[in-house]
Amino acid sequence: MHFALEKEDKMISTFLSSIGPWNDHVIIGGGFAPIIYKLYLSDLSAGILPVGTRDLDSLISRKTPNISHKKLSKHLIDSGFTTIFKSLEIPATEAYVKNIDGFELEVEFLTSSNFRGEMNKNIEIAGVVAQPLRYLELSLQNFIEFATQSNNKGLVVSPETWIFHKGLTFIKRFSDSKIYKDLYGMWYVATQLGEFSDKAIIEVKDLEKQHSKWFKKFQKNIFEWTDKATPLDWTRLESQDPYGKLHKVNFMYLMKKWL
């Protein structure tokens, strides 16, 4: 394994071993998804390494069954995670934090917002508080299995769905820096994972058949951002890649495959 990703492998393995039987009902997304694709699902020697993260977004369905007398939250606490509260909502947004070999891992839970009534309010599922996020139902339906170096089994959002969700949501980010990070992630997953990336590019386009309305939104978001991006925007986007491989030209070449 590449030394630069040993820390990430340890974090992922620790999380999966901590949640016990709930690992069949928790899907990893966010910034850890590209790391999982690189570490366990593609050719590690192809392309560059992904940018690391300490934030692990865990997706959980509102319809998750009660599979154990021991709730997911109790598994995390018993494994050394500490709960921190991040809002004044009821229930409050929370994260589970643990120091792993000198590096802090922060876990948050997300769920879909496609429910009537209190669709935008936090909800408790299996003892953890999940934040609702738009378009997340697709990520809860499309995932793939993986195993860490220590053979901990887990689920991760499929790459085409991960790219699609980023394209649907990046435009609503409150922070420009997070927009650049999302766009970098889309480029990374679609270009730096060898054949895994080649397949993802095609499968993103295939989503148009199943989700035509959402796909038009995906295209509109990309077109509007690239059309209005200033030279400074492009410089800041390119700076997300510490290896210097991301450039406006190859980014636009990729995006035109979906427009």
User: What tens digit of pLDDT does each residue of 14-34 get?
Assistant: 999 999 999 999 999 999 999
Question: 55-59 and 103-112: which strand pairing?
Answer: parallel
Shared-domain flag, residues 11 and 137: yes
Shared-domain flag, residues 127 and 208: no
Question: 94-100 and 103-112: which strand pairing?
Answer: antiparallel
Res 16: pLDDT: 98
Among 110, 127, 157, residue at a domain's last position: 157
Among 116, 138, 157, residue at a domain's last position: 157
Shared-domain flag, residues 53 and 145: yes
Q: How many domains does the chain have?
A: 2
Compute the mean pLDDT over every residue in the chain, rounded to the nearest whole number. 95
Calculate mean pLDDT across residues 131-153. 96
Shared-domain flag, residues 182 and 122: no
Calculate mean pLDDT across residues 123-132. 95
Res 56: pLDDT: 98
Shared-domain flag, residues 132 and 77: yes
- Give percent above pLDDT 90 in the chain: 88
Shared-domain flag, residues 150 and 26: yes
Calculate mean pLDDT across residues 237-254. 98
Select the more confidently predicted residue: 113 or 114: 113
Res 89: pLDDT: 82
User: Phi, psi at residue 137, to the nearest 5°?
Assistant: -60, -30
Shared-domain flag, residues 124 and 189: no
Among 115, 140, 157, residue at a domain's last position: 157
Q: What is the pTM of this model?
A: 0.95
Calculate mean pLDDT across residues 241-250. 98
Give me Rg for the CA atoms of the chain. 18
The token duo for 217 is: 């939104």
Per-residue pLDDT for 3 more than 70? no
Shared-domain flag, residues 127 and 240: no
Structural contact between residues 258 and 218, judged by C-beta atoms closer than 8 angstroms = yes
Shared-domain flag, residues 77 and 163: no
pLDDT band, residue 88 (cuts 50/70/90): confident
Shared-domain flag, residues 50 and 148: yes
Question: How many CB atoms are located within 10 Å of the residue 21 CB?
Answer: 11
Q: Closest Cα to residue 162, out of 192, 132, 141, 148?
A: 141
Structural domain that includes position 74: 1-157
